[in-house]
Structure formats: C-alpha cells, structure tokens
C-alpha cells in the first residue's frame, strides 16, 4: 500500500496494475482532468518502477514517487492533453536529475559487510547461488555507477522502451545528445559487466533485449 497527498489530504492506494491514461482530445473539446484518486491508482506503480530504476534505492524511490505526485497535483492545471504517461516520465526523470545534481552524486544503500564479502569472494557459496547473487549485484551496481544523465537515458530506452525522440523530449536535450548518452552509457555497462560477471560466461550489454541471465555470452 502506498500513500500520496491529494486535495483532501493523504490518499491511501493499494498498488495494482498500471492502466494507461492516454487521452487524445480534439482541439474544440475542453479537457477535463481525471479525479485525483484515479490518477494515483492508475499511475503509482508506473512512477515507482521508474523511480526505482533511476535511484537504485527503495527509500529514495518512494521519496521520489511522493515528490512526483506532489508536482503532478500542483501542475495538473498546466498539463496539455496528450500522453499522460509521457508527462509523468518527464516529471519523474527531471526531478531525479535535479536531485542528483544537487547531491553531485547518486546515493545508494551501502553494501553490508556480508554482501561486500560475497562480491569479492565466492568462498562458502555454491557456484549457481553465487552466480545469481553476483550477477544481480553486478547489474545493479553497474547502473548505479553511471552518471545521472547516462543512467536516465539508458533506463528510459532499454527498460522503459521509449524511443530516442521521446527521451529527447523528456530530458530536454537534442536527439544527437541522447544518442551519445545511450551509446556511452551502454559502453560503460558493457565494461562493468564484462569485468565483474562470474566465471567464463560474460554478458555483453547491447541495450534493449540484452539477456541479463547469469552466464549469458556476448
């Protein structure tokens, strides 16, 4: 269960499927904003998933999600009818980048001593269990190490499935800049995963559709 402040105070919402809310309105029609409860119910999961990918931390993702819906509530009157999901992508991404720039780095959970030991030594762990844990941590840490702008572009493209044009609009950057960020971000991911993948099976990150299963080969 999640909660977001709305016009009548704290709105409690049980997370469920994230139904779309794309509204195409004819020029002569007046757009009527959906009920606040409807917005929260339909889009909380979507916003939280993106926030989690961007921040890499559940607590930070919850905080970012809360801030997104506060911004949506305050800015709903300025929304131009079109793709509501695209508007949410833009708000979420820009708030994340603003936070990252203020902090000058992305804040993630510190590795526990136990987890840090697992990352540097497989002693005491079955091979298959180590591979599962190691690879999951590798992917998470490789994404975490990307500069915020690269991370946002890669997440929007390879996880959210948006086009370069959509990402350029969301991030307020030129198409060539977005292409460069995605290319450089993927290159950094490939390097990180090739170096840290366990055993002989190494993953070559090639972008959308890349297998992230342990032991995948280039």
The pTM score is 0.62
Collapsed DSSP state (helix, strand, coil) of residue 105: coil
Distance of alpha carbon 48 from alpha carbon 59, whole angstroms: 11
pLDDT at residue 189 tops 50? yes
* Domain coverage including residue 52: 2-23+33-103
110 falls within a domain: no
Does the pLDDT at position 141 exceed 50? yes
Give the ranges where the chain is alpha helix by DSSP (H).
36-55, 58-75, 84-103, 113-120, 127-145, 148-154, 164-171, 175-196
* In the block, residue with structure tokens 């409690």: 12
- Please indicate, yes or no, whether residues 156 and 92 belong to a single structural domain of this protein: no
Residue 138 lies in a domain: yes
Q: How confident is the model at residue 29 (pLDDT cuts 50, 70, 90)?
A: low
167 shares its domain with 215: yes
Domain boundary (47, 68, 103) is at 103
- Residue 39 contacts residue 6 (beta carbons within 8 Å): no
Q: What is the pLDDT of residue 16?
A: 39
CATH number, domain of 213, equals 1.10.10.10
The Cα 184–Cα 161 span in angstroms is: 18
The residue from 69, 103, 137 where one domain ends is 103
Residue 199 belongs to some domain of the structure? yes
pLDDT at 61: 93
pLDDT of residue 62: 95
**120 falls within a domain:** no
In the predicted structure, residue 103 carries a pLDDT above the cut 50: yes
pLDDT on residue 37:
87
| pLDDT at residue number 194 | 81
Q: For residues 82 and 164, state if they share a domain.
A: no
Q: Specify the range with the lowest mean pLDDT, choosing from 8-22, 78-92, 198-212.
A: 8-22
Whole-number Å distance between alpha carbons of 4 and 7: 10
| Residues 6+ positions from 64 with CB-CB distance below 8 Å | 51, 54, 55, 92, 95, 96, 99
Residue 136 counted as domain residue: yes
Residue 113 domain flag: no
- Please answer whether residues 197 and 135 qualify as being in contact, where contact means their C-beta atoms are separated by less than 8 angstroms: yes
Total Cβ atoms within 10 A of residue 157: 22
Half-sphere exposure of 174 (CA within 13 A, CB side): 3
More confident residue, 54 or 195: 54
Which tops the pLDDT comparison, 187 or 114? Answer: 187
pLDDT of residue 175: 96
pLDDT, position 182: 96
Domains in the chain, number: 2
Same domain, yes or no, for 143 and 198?
A: yes
Q: Are residues 70 and 129 in the same domain?
A: no
Q: What is the CATH number of the domain that holds 87?
A: 1.10.1740.10
For β-strands 2-6 and 9-13, DSSP reports them as antiparallel
pLDDT band at 73 (very low <50, low <70, confident <90, very high): very high
């Amino acid at each position: 269960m999640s909660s977001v402040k709305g016009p009548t105070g704290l709105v409690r919402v049980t997370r469920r499927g994230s139904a779309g809310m794309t509204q195409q309105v004819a020029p002569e029609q007046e757009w009527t904003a959906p009920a606040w409860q409807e917005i929260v119910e339909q889009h909380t999961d979507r916003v939280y998933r993106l926030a989690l990918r961007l921040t890499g931390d559940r607590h930070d993702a919850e905080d970012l999600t809360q801030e997104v819906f506060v911004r949506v509530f305050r800015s709903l009157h300025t929304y131009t009818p079109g793709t509501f999901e695209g508007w949410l992508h833009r708000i979420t991404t820009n708030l994340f980048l603003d936070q990252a720039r203020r902090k000058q780095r992305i804040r993630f959970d510190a590795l526990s001593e136990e987890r840090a030991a697992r990352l540097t030594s497989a002693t005491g762990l079955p091979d298959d269990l180590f591979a599962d844990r190691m690879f999951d941590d590798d992917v998470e840490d490789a994404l975490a190490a990307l500069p915020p702008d690269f991370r946002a572009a890669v997440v929007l493209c390879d996880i959210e499935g948006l086009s370069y044009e959509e990402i350029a609009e969301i991030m307020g950057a030129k198409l060539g800049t977005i292409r460069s960020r995605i290319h450089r971000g993927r290159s950094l991911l490939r390097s990180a995963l090739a170096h840290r993948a366990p055993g002989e099976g190494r993953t070559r990150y090639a972008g959308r559709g890349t297998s992230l299963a342990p032991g995948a080969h280039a």
